[in-house]
């Protein structure tokens, strides 16, 4: 039996450059892993099986864990199966990358569980097919994502930071979020906002005061509960707050663990899910994944 943790992400910066001819959008984003996590458990079985806990209403074969396991088995000629249990804690559809993280964790976990001689490049190829955010979760830590988000360039780890994540109980369609930006085709000019943010982050010892997300301009106006969640974090002492991905989760950075935990306990609405968390370096990401 093998257990593996599947960690969430936040976006420290996100710039949407424009729509591509294939219908997708070019983005530049700085991903960051945090210690909020799901758990996957693998046991020996003659066939491939998946049991999902706390994830109602999703067919097994539509789950990214199932797709990742099936494609890995097919590409590597695996004849044995695996009984996989997925225990969810990361809210689905919250902009925290839970499904993508689960898929990457399945690839990494099954490579070890099945004792496969599969190169990292093979896993990256499968990850790109599974979803735009999946390749990032084969790296973890702090990284720049370009293209659809699938092209990953590791960045120096930011110093440890404490934060609180709030999922305000509303769901934002990713497709609708992109449509709301009303962008034209991708410009050939490089967007300099991300490069400026990365430069500032590296020059000022991991300063995160310049975090930004292009989606906030349209998403906040359309979803008052998200605005309320940001205001909650600010009122409780968060130094900075931001929407993660296209939402609907928001996060805020706090000066220390005590402040973050205190804020997470003072929740005004029953339909909110609130998580104190901390950032994970690349080394911590892999140590805690299999730890």
Active-site residues, by number, are 9, 133
Strand pairing of 25-43 and 82-87? antiparallel
Q: CA end-to-end span of the chain, whole Å?
A: 14
Instruction: Decide if 237 contacts 256 (C-beta within 8 A).
Output: no
Classify strands 212-213 and 162-167 as parallel, antiparallel or unpaired.
Answer: unpaired
Structure token pair of residue 278: 């901390």
Token digits of residue 148? 């659809």
Under a CB-based contact definition with an 8 Å cutoff, are residues 4 and 138 in contact? Answer: no
Q: What is the 3-state secondary structure (H, E, C) of 245-257?
A: CCCCCEEEEECCH
């Amino acid at each position: 039996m093998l257990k593996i943790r599947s960690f969430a992400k936040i976006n420290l910066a996100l710039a949407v450059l424009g729509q591509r001819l294939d219908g997708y959008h070019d983005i530049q984003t700085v991903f960051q892993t945090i210690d909020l996590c799901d758990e996957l458990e693998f046991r020996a079985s003659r066939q491939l099986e998946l049991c999902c806990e706390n994830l109602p209403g999703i067919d097994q074969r539509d789950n990214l864990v199932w797709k990742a396991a099936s494609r890995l088995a097919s590409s590597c000629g695996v004849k044995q199966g695996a009984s996989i249990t997925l225990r969810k804690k990361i809210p689905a559809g919250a902009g925290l990358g839970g499904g993508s993280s689960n898929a990457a964790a399945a690839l990494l976990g099954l490579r070890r569980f099945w004792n496969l001689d599969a190169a990292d490049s093979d896993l990256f190829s499968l990850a790109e097919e599974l979803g735009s955010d999946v390749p990032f979760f084969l790296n973890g830590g702090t990284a720049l994502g370009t293209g659809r988000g699938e092209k990953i360039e590791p960045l120096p780890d930011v110093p440890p930071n404490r934060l609180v994540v709030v999922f305000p109980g509303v769901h934002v369609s990713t497709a609708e979020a992109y449509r709301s930006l009303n962008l034209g085709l991708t410009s050939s000019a490089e967007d300099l906002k991300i490069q400026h943010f990365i430069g500032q982050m590296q020059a000022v010892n991991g300063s995160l005061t310049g975090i930004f997300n292009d989606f906030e301009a349209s998403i906040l106006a359309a979803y008052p509960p998200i605005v309320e969640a940001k205001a909650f974090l600010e009122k409780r002492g968060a130094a900075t707050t931001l929407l993660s991905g296209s939402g609907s989760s928001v996060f805020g950075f706090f000066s220390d663990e005590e402040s973050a935990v205190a804020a997470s306990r003072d929740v005004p609405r029953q339909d909110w899910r609130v998580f104190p968390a901390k950032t994970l370096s690349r080394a911590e990401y892999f140590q805690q994944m299999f730890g």
